[in-house]
Structure 1
Amino acid sequence: MKKRLALCILAACSAPALADVNYSLSITEPQHHLGDVSVEFPKSAQSHIDVKLPAWRTGRYEILNLANGVRYFEAKDDAGKALKWEKINHSTWRVHLNEPTEVNIDYQVYANELGKRARHIDDSHAFVDASGFFMFSESFRQETVTVNLNVPKQWRSVSGMDNHKNKHSFKAADYDVLVDSPIETGINKLHKFEVEGRKYELVIWGEGNYDEQLMLTDLKKLVTTGNVIWDSYPYERYVFMVHATSGAGGATEHLNSTIIQRPRDRFGSREDYLGFISTAAHEFIHTWNVKAYRPKGLAPYDYTNMNYSNLLWISEGSTSYFEDHLLVRSGIETTDEFFKLLGKTINRHLQTPGREVQSASETSFDKWINQGGDHARNYSTNIYLEGSLLSMLLDIKLLESTKAKVNYRQVHNALYNEHKLPAGFTEQDVLNILKELTGEDYATWWHDNVSTPASIDFDALLNKVGLKLERPAKAKSLASIDASAKNTGELLTLTHVRRGGAAWRAGLTTDDKIVAVNKHHVGKDLKASLEVFKAGDKVTIDYIRRDALESTTLVLSEDFDMPKKVVPNKAANLTQRALFKAWMGVEHPLNAAAD
């Protein structure tokens, strides 16, 4: 462990300003994913101070136990004398003070969790989210902070924070800004551009099949669309960070930046590229929805405990919903591409039995403990899927009932203007905005669709905007057991058994190994083994459970080889077409075809 003085020399630290908290990160063994951290806290006259590492990071509502990478913790006073300390819980170190003194903390961090987007160090870069690296004290949380990096000479450092004294030094107003302003440092590609007086940067770490010029072209279009929803921008500078990597995927929003991770070979095809640019749109929207306004319970953030809210479906689901609005209006995504993506979202919803059990409000509150797997799919849903569809349901209702004078975008603009941080908004705040905009009370709608599991009539809903959900004419009927399986060698193992379906009613469950159907061995593909049957046939299933051969009978259900799709309704009238334009901001396909 390097001494603090040595670290400061390496990182070009300066004497601390009054009340500043100064952080230094020295990366001397990147190949081993190790970083040495030094923290200088201002003078304190307390009997002790508690220093903490967050237990989660913003944008991921899950306890991550980030303190598990900390080793070699030391505490010293301003004269370099060791201070007594003790660890009082999983992520808090209590440092005892005998007299008023500055407190200097040193420790080592193991950073090899790229997919969590909290901390990663290797010989080509470091991704530094403060929640994974930098301890804080509630006593000094509001003080100005500086960060100094000691990194290999050829590395470049980029952050949404302003540079402080050199290209590897940054400054933030307080810890909350620091924790929401990650740093990408390493060997990377950097593009700077300006749109409508605001500055942007695109920094890419890793090689991949991406087209940098296409990314830049579309990002320039995307960042002009903020006024589609809000009447002002909450930033003057914004950074898009991209990891083209392997073994990690996803993205996280931050105060004036985002980190997007994708497999390095998942940029090239149109479908993959849409996945990237949709993610960029999602995180861009979060700059308002979450980073400028967010639900009560998450404002201010409690970094060491779960932050509960019934409104995460608005924070995440509405953000997902607005992605396509920005992409379609900017011309990045075609209406046909939007219809395809919307069809996938609706089909996922319809194939999730948990939608009948858990409401959007409940799934929001339970986001911190939601588990994955078969049980979750059968008995719960998620804030992204349900929130997106509820947002569409509310948007079209608003448009229809007000003759297109009010839309859901206006609700979010009101949240932005009336409930900016630091205060968080409540359910009643949203209901008040709806009443102010429409003159109607939405309490009953809220109860029926948010507080209890929503039952959406997609045929009726899509018809209002001149669309319909239909099965392709060439789709073929298939026999099904309402379960999915994966090949685990000689046998197929059930991975999902849909609640209430044929396999469920017959007593089959996940991890059962299917041996035969009507005494004929099942090969590598369950669907292929069922091709000789039709819906309504009664069959015998032989399977292995707890290493014993079992048997059951079931009646095959009907499935199709092609899902339902969202398509334009060729019979759409002028009113429906007009509502479509008010909804999506572009002409209905029938009008566009006539031009």
Structure 2
Amino acid sequence: MKKTLLAMSMMAAFAAQASEVEYRIDLTHPEHHTGDVSMTFPETKADHLDVKMAAWRTGLYHILDLASGVREFVATDDDGNPLRWEKVDKSTWRIYLPEATEVNVSYQLYANELGRRSRHIDDSHAYLDASAVFMYTDQYRQEEANVTLEVPPSWRSVSGLERTGEHAFSAENWDVLVDSPIETGINKVFDFEQGEQDYQVVFWGHGNYDAEQTVADLKKMVAQASTIWEGYPFERYVFMIHATDGAGGATEHKNSTVIQRPRFSFAPHDEYLSFLSTASHEFIHTWNVKAYRADGLVPYDYQKENYTDLLWMHEGSTSYFQDHLLLRADIMKPTEYFDHLASAIQRHKHKPGAEVMSVAEASFESWIDQYGDRARNYSVNIYSEGAIVSWMLDIALLQETDGKVSYRDVHNALYQRFDADKEGFNDADVLAILKDLTGKSWQTWWQQHVMQPVDVDFTKLLEPVGLKLSYGNSDDVEMRAWAGWSAKPADNGMQLTLVERNSPAWDAGFTPDDIIVAFNGIRVDDKRFKAALKEMQPGDEVTVTYFRRDQLAEKTLTLGKIPKNDAKVVPVDEPTAAQKALFEQWLLIPYPGSEDSDK
């Protein structure tokens, strides 16, 4: 009986081992941005095995050409004999199996896409997002995945994955692996604990960052997550920070984030706050899109677009919450937060697309690039406009419930009710949560603010929390001349890059790529382009000389008007007790000027 049990135990152990997928990458010659990838899939009894490279990566909702980095593809059986294969679509290699066998795959990977945050290899490091590095199969996607790196002697490897060796990691399955990037190379690593969670911060590249101060502020920031969610979806989290030669951006992952900034943009203070806002944004994503996610993204299908009309809740709401954590951690001052609000208001007021596109439509359309002149005039951004809709919903909830319910409660409920590994949520689920929290239907509000282009009255949005818009020291708003265009220097003048819809320049018939050379017969350059208009008054007519398709032409531009000063968000002169209370329930900090706020 003991022998039988021992045999069964050995067979079970062998079966468990055999079901694992083994990945290896040789990075010992990284100078030319290449690595040698190999992998072994368990014994397969089918007549073929399709191995795939993802067609997109999480956090960037666009189809990418990730398979283009693969060369020298080879497939062999468990004895090392070549297997016949063919490529059947842009991302799939079909390997034919004459008999049951393990399948070994190898290829050379070209990795020089730092700005995409997908894969980058050079003589100082490798950043590896599995979606752009390691192939997968549908059959073995849920099997344990082990990764071993061969790296130069001075390199150090870091990941949110479970470590199994100095340069080796293990993932529960490919879906965990693909959402857990690896940073290996010459770097600086700092560790800290906050609550029951462990954190690592890894810096790659030289820059003007203060590593110790950054780690200290990140420690304060992560502690504020408990003001939104009950519980943490991870035991260990890694901040990967790239100080680069121009690449910028960030991407959230299941247990980590990568943040890229030009190497000398971590200071002065405004730049540092911008960096911390990004870090907060990506950290919030660990809940909002990684722990709970819209049903159109569950499970991820890495071969095609994953459509949902709720991306605004993932990106826009995350953008809305990001500075709240910094405020509560006493990293950002209230006046700095108010400046960010004012900038958001300015952007919205000069975003004509907000009149024609809803955040729901923008979410669905995210797979199509929405950039440039037409995008601004006819589209909205799920980040900025999604943040405004989130702000509106937050204030509406606070007003409806006398401060008892906020938008934080909605996101905590989503976290408690929906596990992104099993089930996604939809509009009806959000509406059900809103009703559960407040006892009333939010269907009409949702239709008017989410499903339709939103009309924002910022005065009414700010007033309940004791804030207002100000354009100067006087109640009378001073105006200045306005054309409604943007431009960059060109060889012979100024080339228009943007013409705002329904602006004076739009009504006059100007369009991007027009090259403006003169106002009222006087030549203009980059110094005079803005200065000349500042000397004019609203209503003035200007004869504009310009080139279009290399032909000289003239148009008459009648200048409009906008406030001379940028908008500011400031406290009202005499806030009521109710306004102060709602402000404090909104941001969880004292109202400006109160006794507690001065401590």
Matched-pair contact (CA < 8 Å) for 1:28–1:34: no
Moved more, 555-564 or 350-359: 555-564
Counterpart position of 2:578: 575
Cα deviation 1:443-489 (Å, max 9, x = unaligned): 00000000000001001110010001111239864322110111013
Matched-pair contact (CA < 8 Å) for 1:478–1:531: yes
Matched-pair contact (CA < 8 Å) for 1:523–1:529: no
Matched-pair contact (CA < 8 Å) for 1:67–1:91: yes
What is the deviation of 1:490?
Answer: 2.5
Matched-pair contact (CA < 8 Å) for 2:492–2:515: no
Distance in 1 (alpha carbons) for counterparts of 2:401 and 2:598: 27
Counterpart position of 1:404: 403
The alignment partner of 1:71 has SS state of: strand
After TM superposition, list the pairs within 5 Å mapping 1:160-559 onto structure 2. 160-164=160-164, 166-421=165-420, 422-473=422-473, 477-525=479-527, 526-559=529-562
What is the deviation of 1:538?
Answer: 1.3
Distance in 2 (alpha carbons) for counterparts of 1:193 and 1:497: 49
The alignment partner of 2:103 has SS state of: strand
Counterpart position of 1:8: none
Distance in 2 (alpha carbons) for counterparts of 1:129 and 1:48: 27
Moved more, 212-221 or 178-187: 212-221
Distance in 2 (alpha carbons) for counterparts of 1:331 and 1:349: 28
The alignment partner of 1:383 has SS state of: coil
Unaligned runs of 5+ in 1: 1-13
2:398 maps to amino acid: L
Distance in 2 (alpha carbons) for counterparts of 1:239 and 1:28: 24
Counterpart position of 1:45: 45
The alignment partner of 1:414 has SS state of: helix
Indicate how the Cα distance of structure 1 residues 449 and 161 shifts in structure 2: closer, same or farther if over 3 A, else same: same
Distance in 1 (alpha carbons) for counterparts of 2:472 and 2:17: 68
Counterpart position of 1:150: 150
TM-score, normalisation: structure 1: 0.96
Distance in 2 (alpha carbons) for counterparts of 1:458 and 1:281: 25
2:115 maps to amino acid: G
Matched-pair contact (CA < 8 Å) for 1:78–1:102: yes
Distance in 1 (alpha carbons) for counterparts of 2:400 and 2:575: 18
What is the deviation of 1:560?
Answer: 4.4
Counterpart position of 2:132: 132
The alignment partner of 1:107 has SS state of: strand
Counterpart position of 1:5: none
Distance in 2 (alpha carbons) for counterparts of 1:208 and 1:84: 49
Cα deviation 1:163-184 (Å, max 9, x = unaligned): 12x2100000000000000000
Distance in 2 (alpha carbons) for counterparts of 1:469 and 1:375: 29
Matched-pair contact (CA < 8 Å) for 1:395–1:407: yes
What is the deviation of 1:561?
Answer: 4.8
Cα deviation 1:132-157 (Å, max 9, x = unaligned): 10000011000000000011010000
The alignment partner of 2:191 has SS state of: strand
1:204 maps to amino acid: F
Distance in 1 (alpha carbons) for counterparts of 2:485 and 2:180: 44
Distance in 2 (alpha carbons) for counterparts of 1:430 and 1:76: 50
Distance in 2 (alpha carbons) for counterparts of 1:531 and 1:105: 65
Matched-pair contact (CA < 8 Å) for 1:207–1:264: yes
Cα deviation 1:310-343 (Å, max 9, x = unaligned): 0000011101111121111111111111101111
The alignment status of 1:111 with 2:111, answered yes or no, reads yes
What is the deviation of 1:419?
Answer: 1.1
Distance in 1 (alpha carbons) for counterparts of 2:42 and 2:102: 5
Counterpart position of 1:10: none
2:592 maps to amino acid: P
* Aligned alpha-carbon RMSD (Å): 1.5
Moved more, 213-222 or 551-560: 551-560
Distance in 2 (alpha carbons) for counterparts of 1:490 and 1:550: 14
What is the deviation of 1:267?
Answer: 0.7
The alignment partner of 2:297 has SS state of: coil
Matched-pair contact (CA < 8 Å) for 2:516–2:524: yes
Distance in 1 (alpha carbons) for counterparts of 2:414 and 2:572: 34
Distance in 1 (alpha carbons) for counterparts of 2:289 and 2:358: 21
Distance in 2 (alpha carbons) for counterparts of 1:110 and 1:417: 41
Matched-pair contact (CA < 8 Å) for 2:246–2:263: no
The alignment partner of 1:227 has SS state of: helix
Distance in 2 (alpha carbons) for counterparts of 1:470 and 1:246: 39
Distance in 2 (alpha carbons) for counterparts of 1:466 and 1:310: 33
The alignment partner of 1:386 has SS state of: helix
Identity of aligned residues (%): 52
What is the deviation of 1:370?
Answer: 2.8
Cα deviation 1:102-151 (Å, max 9, x = unaligned): 11000011100000000000000000100110000011000000000011
The alignment partner of 2:28 has SS state of: strand
The alignment partner of 1:451 has SS state of: coil
Distance in 2 (alpha carbons) for counterparts of 1:458 and 1:402: 21
What is the deviation of 1:493?
Answer: 0.3
Unaligned runs of 5+ in 2: 1-13
What is the deviation of 1:565?
Answer: 1.0
Distance in 1 (alpha carbons) for counterparts of 2:542 and 2:206: 51
What is the deviation of 1:379?
Answer: 0.4
The alignment partner of 1:29 has SS state of: coil
Q: How many residues align?
A: 581
Distance in 2 (alpha carbons) for counterparts of 1:480 and 1:224: 45
Counterpart position of 2:7: none
What is the deviation of 1:227?
Answer: 1.1
Matched-pair contact (CA < 8 Å) for 1:480–1:527: no
Distance in 1 (alpha carbons) for counterparts of 2:105 and 2:330: 51
What is the deviation of 1:531?
Answer: 2.9
Cα deviation 1:417-444 (Å, max 9, x = unaligned): 1111220000000000000000110000
Indicate how the Cα distance of structure 1 residues 594 and 207 shifts in structure 2: closer, same or farther if over 3 A, else same: closer
Distance in 2 (alpha carbons) for counterparts of 1:532 and 1:415: 54
Distance in 2 (alpha carbons) for counterparts of 1:515 and 1:279: 40
Counterpart position of 1:3: none
The alignment partner of 2:448 has SS state of: helix
Cα deviation 1:510-533 (Å, max 9, x = unaligned): 000001111111122321122331
Indicate how the Cα distance of structure 1 residues 513 and 195 shifts in structure 2: closer, same or farther if over 3 A, else same: same
Indicate how the Cα distance of structure 1 residues 582 and 515 shifts in structure 2: closer, same or farther if over 3 A, else same: same
1:505 maps to amino acid: D
Moved more, 483-492 or 149-158: 483-492
Matched-pair contact (CA < 8 Å) for 2:160–2:237: yes
What is the deviation of 1:554?
Answer: 1.9
What is the deviation of 1:405?
Answer: 0.9
Cα deviation 1:316-373 (Å, max 9, x = unaligned): 1101111121111111111111101111111111111111111000000000103311
Cα deviation 1:71-96 (Å, max 9, x = unaligned): 00111111111111111111111111
